[in-house]
Structure 1
Amino acid sequence: MRRLSGAAFVLHLLITLLSPSSGADTLTLDRPLADGGDPLISEGGSFALGFFSPTGSDGRYIGIWYEKISVQTVVWVANRQRPVTGNRGSLSVAANGTLVITTGENSTVVWSSPSIALSNPVAQLLDDGNFVVRGKDGNSSDPNSFAWQSFDYPTDTLLPGMKLGWNLTTGFNRTLTSWASASDPAPGEYTFGIDLRGDPQIFEWSGTRQVWRAGPWNGLRFTGVPQMTSYNMLSLQFFVDATQVVYVFYMIDPSFVSRLVVNQSGILQRLVWVNESKFWNAFWYAPMDPCDTIFPCGPNAVCDTSKSPLCGCPQGFQPKNPTNWGFRDGSDGCVRKTEVDCQNGTDEFALVSGAKLPDTSSSTVEWVGTTLDQCRAKCLKNCSCTAYAQANISGSGSGCILWSTNLTDLRVYGSGGQDLYVRAAAADLDSESSHHRIYLTVITVILALFIFILALVGCRAWRRKKRSRGTGMSGMATSFTERHNDEGTDAKDLDLPLFDLGALADATGNFSIESKLGEGGFGPVYKGKLEDEQEIAVKRLSKTSVQGIDEFKNEVVLIAKLQHRNLVRLLGCCIQGEERMLIYEYMPNGSLDSFLFGDHFILSPPHGILRVLSSLIMRSSLR
């Protein structure tokens, strides 16, 4: 290898010492990070650490953000309560391993990490976004070698691999706290963390007031977040043991970028970066609906967004204040209709399906002898027990959660949720079940009657349509015998359609000159077309005819019975007021004219007349 000259070596050394730490991920005792210099970049290029100013602020803060995402997204802030003014800030690691942010010529300390005792310390930004202090010879992939880490001091964001919750050995609690505003990363109003009381569960607080509850972990998800089962890109874990109670998530597919954030408005969001559109998509958020707000319906009441009003009572319970309940104020909750009788062992349990389990702060959890039937037996034996549920629903299920107080913050979901069994007097459950059976019986009878009526109407309509002989005139003609049997016509079983005058007027252009085919001594004949496009000939008898109504009817009956395939067919008639009409098939080949206007048939050979008469007798419908 070629040796460097003395001058070249000195120049190379100066460049190495004075060049900015572009691409470097580590701070050392002799290499601080100055404002205006290049930020630290994690080894894989996922995260950056340096000075930044939020939009709308002149203050300078040390923060960590995504390096590969075009929209600067800060996930951690060191000096969130005390910004650096001006651009003379510096971040360094002290000889004992303490991180220090200073400002100004006098190096005034703005922020420092907890004091530790460590030899040869270095501070390194890892590719998961964790900023750690370790010994120079320590392993950056071994968390046990970290003397300090930013993951223990989250701000408003939970990253993959970052723990939320308690170190029971040290009593240290990791929580998320919102920014004060979009331009001020100081601790805001909302905090997100784990409550250790009873069966541990996740809460969001506004100051000391609870505003949202995720509920306890049931082996698959938090009972108040049924959507968690659809997080196919995430691995969700909840650890409860002698040393810790923590929630953590990991990315199954590292190509996805996701974070959990509590914003300055108190909305908890699961955000996923959409690279194609260059924005953060809210994959899930809470509170999501009115039932998500804490205790919306009062003790022992059930909140259900699919119903109006939202608040209802479980089986065996009734509103404590019916007047307020009528005004849709469910804050007083529900009480039992009948007090339970624990001594006689006659109590029963009302099932609430698809539930977010009630607040478990005062509940107890048992893990020995804990099938669902055993949970029921345990609750029955304890007169203070008000409800029970399975603690872990994964696999075959295990553990019992037992409540001994009023049930608060209880809601149900359309899908997801968990079964809860609420203690109630057996008589009340039997009574409600009886009412329910009666209700179902009445509904069944009504439905059966409705179906029967529909079938009857449909059958009659089908029969009537069948009787219409396929002429397409059912909407314009009715049965001659139905309309005129009361006038003395002996039509026997004749079903001759009776046409409406208005329909015939429409078909013939109001009996216009253009539709007139001709005229005989009886009156004019018109060509028409019905609504179903069938062409007809309407023989309109003269109003001066001396023929009476009975004679006309008898003639119609006779003509209708004398139907032959070689003669024009009579379709029906019209008797309305002074109008009397006969409606025939329209035949454009001339036979219609001779039938309607001719006074007789002209058959020269005598045997032709005999053949026609014989044919009429044998093949007509006259019997």
Structure 2
Amino acid sequence: MSPFVLVLLLSCFFLNVCLAHERAFFSGNLSDSETILSSLGTFRFGFFSPVNSTSRYAGIWYNSIPLQTVIWVANKDKPINDSSGVVSVSEDGNLVVTDGHRLVIWSTNLSTQSPANSTVLAELLDSGNLVMKDSNTDAYLWESFEYPTDSWLPNMLVGTNAKTGGGNITITSWKTPSDPSPGSYTAALVLAAYPEIHIVNNNNKNATMWRSGPWNGVFLYRFIVNDDTNGTVTMSFANDSTLRHFYLDYKGSVIRRDWSEAKRNWTAGDQVPATECDVYRRCGQFATCNPLKAPPCSCFKGFSPRNFVEWNSGNSSGGCIRKEPLQCERQNSNGSAADGFMRLRRVKLPDFARRSEASEPECLRTCLQTCSCVAFAHGLGYGCMTWNVSLVDSQDLSSSGMDLYIRLAHSEKPDRRPVIIGRKKGTEAEEIFERVEALAGGGSKGKMKELPLFEFQVLAAATDNFSLSNKLGQGGFGPVYKGKLQEGQEIAVKRLSQASGQGLEELVNEVVVISKLQHRNLVKLLGCCIAGEERMLVYEFMPNKSLDYYLFDEVDIINGICRGLVYLHRDSRLRIIHRDLKASNILLDENLVPKISDFGLAKIFSGNEDEAMTRRVLGTYGYMSPEYAMRGQFSEKSDVFSLGVILLEFVSGRRNSSSSLLACAWSMWKEGEINGLVDPEIFDTLFEKEIRKCVHIGLLCVQEAANRRPSVATVCSMLSSEVADIPEPRHPAFVSRNGVSEAESSEASNNNVTITDVSGR
């Protein structure tokens, strides 16, 4: 072999080695022909020209994707017209872009210099973040993630930039697809009582074009944001995929893009504005917008168009006005009936909400007692939201959204207050109520006296002497009967069975717990009966029986269960662990709104208590978490396990007998064949991705390790949003890796266990 050929081959070899190990950082100069590559090869930094342009810009783009996709630009409004540009680290430690005349056209403008004995490096991270760092300490002096151009990437700041003095971070559209100079639109997280993302038109006095709706502390319009202790807010996806990002296009739309390797192209995900109803204040004040209706705008009940002529011609910008004045607005309100509230379900909440940490009942009372309050809402992570201004930018949503309660004059809303039944005092009953008051604590002292006490004869007559034809079901406490009082009100009567493992302790516990709680997804206690050996609780009647009577064709039912459980765990004055959550303890009203019932086994936690132990394990096998069934240990995650079982039952239409449903679901999930798990009637009525989401979340909830299960608040967020990237589930409880139930192979616990078995339908 000739020396020339040998040198040529060695040159090619070393050239390939160099290309395979491209540098990710530099401390000197970077010419127009040079680039740096992130460590895993995801992003590249250097000079580029946009499509259909010869101008040169320093920027960052996806390296492994054939379509030019730029995510950050340095000299966006000062292009270089030739290839003379240089990126360098200056003597004062700044990253600068200079042209052929050595004029600085862009700089990081760092105000503090690094120590004299250190070197400043520019490094491109595999997250797409270009950082300037001190070589001695590796401390970041500057990073591109804090100065985005038109794109949001995972783990990028979207909120306050503490390092730069608290200025809010924004992204700005390109002027055109070929010109990255600042365009007409800007998107940012607006930090108000409830942070929201806004898109504004820079050419129209920064007028808002679109708003996301309030942030609940977890999910904010299709992605997850994290509130750091230093006051900054970062954006992330559940799987932190680097081949996914949001960008603001030159037409003013925020679009999520996901790279499809199969299609070798970007696929567009969520985009806003997407419909005419996304346009800010599309329907004016006191109106809602529904893109599925024509015309899309309609006034809230109790309101009418301000200008009928304009409204009928399609111009709804004037909005609506109240038909009847509120009680507090009348000059003479003596004798007039009190105002009420109308519930709007699943809506995008209006702009300009006020915030407080009041409970839901307190939130309602506060709004009702404040004349200027026109609406309220209460929900997961939001606390109490009230509006003292005109309601604007509300929208009907087919999924997600929240319930909004709009204040109306009494004449506009029927009075549906429950019938109040008189109470007759008795010596034995008074002794029991003294015990209830003692357990309830000082804050409820005396309030138990207000709980109606029914006479036995009244309930016997209402239930036709507790006839079998009126029996609604059987639980651990005893049978439940349907009844009808003389006044016409329908009730449900839970009667303690002498054979029950539960008794006075559970009755007292249930009265204590439920009398302190008020929530639309908790069943309402109307009163009780204590006569001789009889112990009965009287509830509002749910005409649609319990959840286990139905093929579950309403996802909204599951959302309601979650909201009720979140209230118990986090939003009520107390922290309650239910301990017996199951389908038969979820009652449905006439509108199929779920109500959590049966609080006989509920445990009240103190403010600093996260879990507890008991030697008296009570509940229903199949819904019990392993740590509770085997060790008597329970926490919020015990209820999460039960919720996961209900979710899997919801999808399959089958009960979890001997944990076989969990084993079946897990096996099919691992094989990617969940359709075999799904009840055919469910599959016909729901979209496949929603079914898969329910199975996915259900398996997360029944994981063997309690600390891996999500909180109910997180479950609510995953169910009500369209975020698809949730963590992969791990091995469920009671299902061993060889297919044998762990419960069957384990020795019996030495706890005093009372378990209600569940038979198949």
1:188 aligns with one of 142, 166, 183: 183
Alpha-carbon contact 2:199-2:211 (below 8 Å) kept: yes
Q: Does residue 376 in structure 1 map to residue 364 in structure 2?
A: yes
Q: Does 1:357 align with 2:357?
A: no
| Matches for 1:14-25 after TM superposition, within 5 Å | 23-25=22-24
Residue of structure 2 equivalent to 1:252: 239
Query: d(CA) in 1 for partners of 2:228 and 2:288?
Result: 29
Residue 132 to residue 220, structure 1, CA distance change in 2 (3 Å): closer
Query: What SS class does the counterpart of residue 292 from structure 2 fall into?
Result: coil
Name 2:356's counterpart in structure 1. Answer: 366
TM-aligned CA deviation for residue 324 of structure 1: 2.1
Give the superposition deviation at 1:219: 4.1
- Separation (CA, whole Å) in 2 of partners of 1:353 and 1:318: 20
Of residues 399, 403, 413 in structure 2, which corresponds to 1:419?
A: 403
| Residue of structure 1 equivalent to 2:160 | 166
Alpha-carbon distance, 1:167 to partner: 3.0
TM-aligned CA deviation for residue 330 of structure 1: 1.7
**Partner amino acid for 1:32?**
N
Q: Is the 8 A contact 2:174 2:182 kept in 1?
A: yes
**Matched residue, 2:33:** 36
Q: Please say if 1:214 is aligned against 2:236.
A: no
- Give 1:356 deviation, angstroms: 0.3
Cα deviations by residue, 1:221-274 (Å, 9 ceiling, x for unpaired): 34xx4xx3xxxxxx6124286x425241135164x6210000001111011000
Matches within 5 A, 1:218-237: 218-222=216-220, 225=221, 228=222, 236-237=224-225
Equivalent of 2:315 in 329, 337, 357: 329
Asked which structure has the greater CA Rg, the reply is 1
> What is aligned with 1:130?
129
1:102 aligns to what? 98
Distance 1:247 1:122, change over 3 A: closer
Sort the Cα spacing of 1:221 and 1:283 in 2 relative to 1 into closer, same or farther, 3 A: same
Alignment of 1:248-327 (within 5 A): 248-252=235-239, 254=241, 257-327=243-313
> Tell me, which stretches of 5 or more residues in structure 2 are unaligned?
1-10, 418-761
Equivalent residues in 2 for 1:390-539 (5 A)? 390=378, 392-393=379-380, 399-430=383-414
3-state secondary structure, aligned to 2:281: coil
Moved more, 188-197 or 268-277: 188-197
Q: Is residue 2:37 matched to residue 1:53?
A: no
- Structure 2 distance, partners of 1:88, 1:43, is 27
Q: Report the TM-score when normalising by structure 1.
A: 0.59
Aligned to 1:489: none
- The farther-off stretch of 345-354 and 156-165 is 345-354
Please tell me whether the aligned partners of residues 22 and 40 of structure 1 are also in contact (alpha carbons under 8 angstroms).
no
Between the two proteins, the alignment pairs up a number of residues equal to 389
**Could you list the runs of 5+ residues in structure 1 that have no partner in the other structure?**
1-11, 140-144, 229-234, 434-623
CA distance in 1, matches of 2:413, 2:228: 37
Query: Per-residue deviation at 1:62?
Result: 0.5
Q: Could you tell me which residue of structure 1 aligns to residue 150 of structure 2?
A: 156
The 3-state SS of whatever aligns with 1:215 is coil
Runs of 4+ in 1 over 4 A off after TM superposition: 19-22
Please say if residues 364 and 403 of structure 1, whose CA atoms lie closer than 8 Å, have aligned partners that are also in contact.
yes
After superposition, give the CA deviation of every residue in 1:529-575 in whole Å (9 maximum; x if it has no partner). Answer: xxxxxxxxxxxxxxxxxxxxxxxxxxxxxxxxxxxxxxxxxxxxxxx
The reply on whether 1:346 has 2:338 as its aligned counterpart is: yes
Deviation of 1:432 after TM superposition, in Å, equals: 13
Task: Provide TM-score, normalisation by structure 2.
Answer: 0.49
1:168 positional shift? 5.5
> 1:138 Cα deviation (Å)?
2.7
Give, in angstroms, the shift of residue 422 of structure 1.
0.9
1:198 Cα offset (Å): 3.6
Q: Secondary structure at the residue paired with 2:194?
A: coil
Q: Cα–Cα, structure 1 residues 432 and 337, in superposed 2: closer, same or farther, change >3 Å?
A: farther
2:199 paired with 1:204: yes
Describe the SS at the equivalent of 1:271.
Answer: strand
Q: CA distance change for structure 1 residues 126 and 184 in 2, over 3 Å: closer, same or farther?
A: same
Q: Which residue of 2 aligns with 1:92?
A: 88
The verdict on how the C-alpha distance between 1:24 and 1:247 changes in structure 2, with shifts beyond 3 A counting, is: closer
Q: Which residue of 2 is the match for residue 386 of structure 1? A: 374
**2-structure distance, mates of 1:154, 1:21:** 29
- Give the SS at the match of 2:159: strand
SS for the counterpart of 2:286 is coil
Structure with greater strand percent: 1
Q: 2:73 aligns with which of 69, 74, 77?
A: 77
CA distance in 2, matches of 1:269, 1:373: 39
- CA deviations 1:583-615 (Å, max 9, x no partner) are xxxxxxxxxxxxxxxxxxxxxxxxxxxxxxxxx
Contact 1:166 1:245 in 2 (8 A): yes
Question: Could you give the per-residue CA deviations for residues 316-363 of structure 1, whole angstroms, max 9, x where no partner exists?
Answer: 212222222222322211111111113778111111111000012xx3
Q: Percent identity?
A: 35
Contact 1:177 1:191 in 2 (8 A): yes
Partners of 2:400 and 2:96 in 1: how far apart?
A: 48
**Match of 1:86, SS?**
coil
Cα displacement (A) at 1:20: 9.2
Measure how far apart 1:85 and its partner are.
Answer: 2.0
Matched letter for residue 199 of structure 1: Y
Distance in 1 between residues matched to 2:373 and 2:92, nearest whole Å: 55
- Match runs of 1:520-559 below 5 Å: none
Q: Quick one: distance in 1 between partners of 2:314 and 2:228?
A: 40
